[in-house]
Structure 1
């Protein structure tokens, strides 16, 4: 398999198939895509369909929309089996949260751009000229390529590739979504990656003595993370740890302080 060579995960690069630049014609895109994914198709028409956006198709059924439909299901099944086999300590609820994060449009789009699949997408000239494309089309091509590989090479090929491409997404989702013991997860992360141990700082408290609420923030090496409320200090610390994990991984805060 060819090396995984990421480029910026913030910028989508689309070029139409006019062939006016080297590497932008249809045949070059097919070759480039096969090089990226480390798989040579027996039936190139499958890959051509997977890479063809509706704007660049001769008719709707020639686009990647049908393959996207199948790819969504294949992706979900492969990730579910992966999580089921490798994380036996997690219950159904945890596995569902992890899986949802891994197969989200955000994750698929990010990985597609890191791989460079956006450069292989066959789109109409107007899409690249006007830059009016929806961001979701990059995640869509990821799903359609997964489906094409599944039909051409079988589930084992897909499983091998996805376990390489989505390894970081799974690890992040497990750390941020997979366990209710967020303090333990944050401590492991901080000690492993930040060479520090989290401490928890009481920011505020409110309510009568018999029904107090506590606002607590996690602090790692003097960096204070967004505080979270809890009906007791134990819950507040768990919520604060969850907020810290989310911020460290660039994800939305699960327990925002709505009063701030």
Structure 2
């Protein structure tokens, strides 16, 4: 430990005691982890809610004993918390732009990232029933599963602690995802086309419904490959609806379609 003796505090040093004229180098302050609040809520969950949140449907006889119902609730809580955060922050943005920002900030990938930071993979391993080791590792490697567990934990926290405590924790936990969505907005249509091009496939979009008055239109678009619908989206403009359809299609392509030629499954 380095020390110095003088009456004026050197930059980056701290006094050894209230009346001391000696100083030592100050330890750098720990930067707060944006996930600390949500992690605390997860650690404080009542046992029954935690059990449900970390239980996959294949591990129980009744699907209602798995995380699926909590994930349904958590999806809504997450969406509301982020919407409430970005709405006053961007007063000049229209509904379509706000929707696109929110969709990217709370996407499956974003939720999976937060799940990993919360230590969800290790918690799933700990709670996996005997005899499903391989199955557990497959589930843990899936962004879809991790995202669902993340939503389930948010839903469980909402039931246990209420929106007043959960919303700020969720906003903090997803702060990096929100900022990334602001600085690097994703063009889902281009990304989908690039993905399909590697499979020699083309995507086409159709507006299947347009409703509402001229000043408040609402559109539903579908993304199709070879006549098969692979994604559906809704928006206040045709472009916004197509972007949402492309986003949904990307998730399906990544989860359900065969791997690209030459790549192992």
Q: TM-score, normalised by structure 2?
A: 0.51
Judged with a 3 Å threshold, the aligned counterparts in structure 2 of structure 1 residues 42 and 173 are, in CA distance, closer, same or farther, namely closer
Q: Return the match for 1:128 from 130, 133, 146.
A: 133
Shift of 1:70: 0.8
Paired residue for 2:102? 99
Aligned to 2:120: 117
Q: Is the 8 A contact 2:74 2:155 kept in 1?
A: yes
Report whether the alignment pairs 1:140 with 2:159.
no
Structure 1 residue 35: Cα displacement: 9.4
Counterpart-to-counterpart distance in 2, 1:132 and 1:48: 20
CA distance in structure 2 between the aligned counterparts of 1:142 and 1:101, rounded to whole angstroms: 16
In the TM superposition, residue 109 of structure 1 has moved relative to its aligned partner by 0.2
Aligned-residue CA RMSD in angstroms? 2.7
Q: 1:60 aligned to 2:47?
A: no
CA contact (8 A) 2:109 2:143 kept: no
Cα offsets for 1:154-180 (capped at 9, x unmatched):
0022112112110100001011239xx
Q: 1:125 to 1:90 in 2, by over 3 A?
A: farther
Task: Give the corresponding residue for 1:4.
Answer: 33
Specify the SS of the correspondent of 2:184. Answer: helix
Residue aligning to 1:191: none
User: CA–CA distance in 2 between the matches of 1:136 and 1:60?
Assistant: 17
**Structure 1 residues 71-102: Cα deviation after superposition (integer angstroms, max 9, x where no partner):** 11111111111110222232212101100001
Deviation for aligned residue 1:55: 2.8
Structure 1 residues 48 and 35 mapped into 2: Cα distance closer, same or farther (>3 Å)?
A: farther
Contact 2:67 2:152 in 1 (8 A): yes
1:116 to partner: Cα distance = 1.0
Which of these residues, 165, 177, 185, is aligned with residue 185 of structure 2? 177
Deviation for aligned residue 1:42: 6.4
Q: Which residue of 56, 79, 83 corresponds with 2:82?
A: 79
Return the offset for 1:150.
0.4
Task: Please tell me whether Structure 1 or Structure 2 has the larger radius of gyration of its CA atoms.
Answer: 2
> 2: CA distance between counterparts of 1:45 and 1:108?
23
* CA 1:49–1:175: 2 relative to 1, 3 Å: same
1:163-207 residue CA offsets vs partner (Å, 9 max, x unmatched): 2110100001011239xxxxxxxxxxxxxxxxxxxxxxxxxxxxx
Contact 1:72 1:143 in 2 (8 A): yes
For residues 110 and 42 of structure 1, what CA distance do their matches in structure 2 show? 21
Gapped regions of structure 2 (runs ≥ 5)? 1-31, 187-265
Deviation string 1:106-136 (CA, Å, 9 cap, x unpaired) is 0000111022122112334455325332431
Change in 2 beyond 3 A, CA 1:153/1:53: same
| SS in structure 1 of the partner of residue 87 of structure 2 | helix
Partner residue of 2:260? none
Cα distance, 1:151–1:94 mapped onto 2, change above 3 Å: same
Taking the aligned partners of 2:45 and 2:97, their CA distance within structure 1 comes to 39
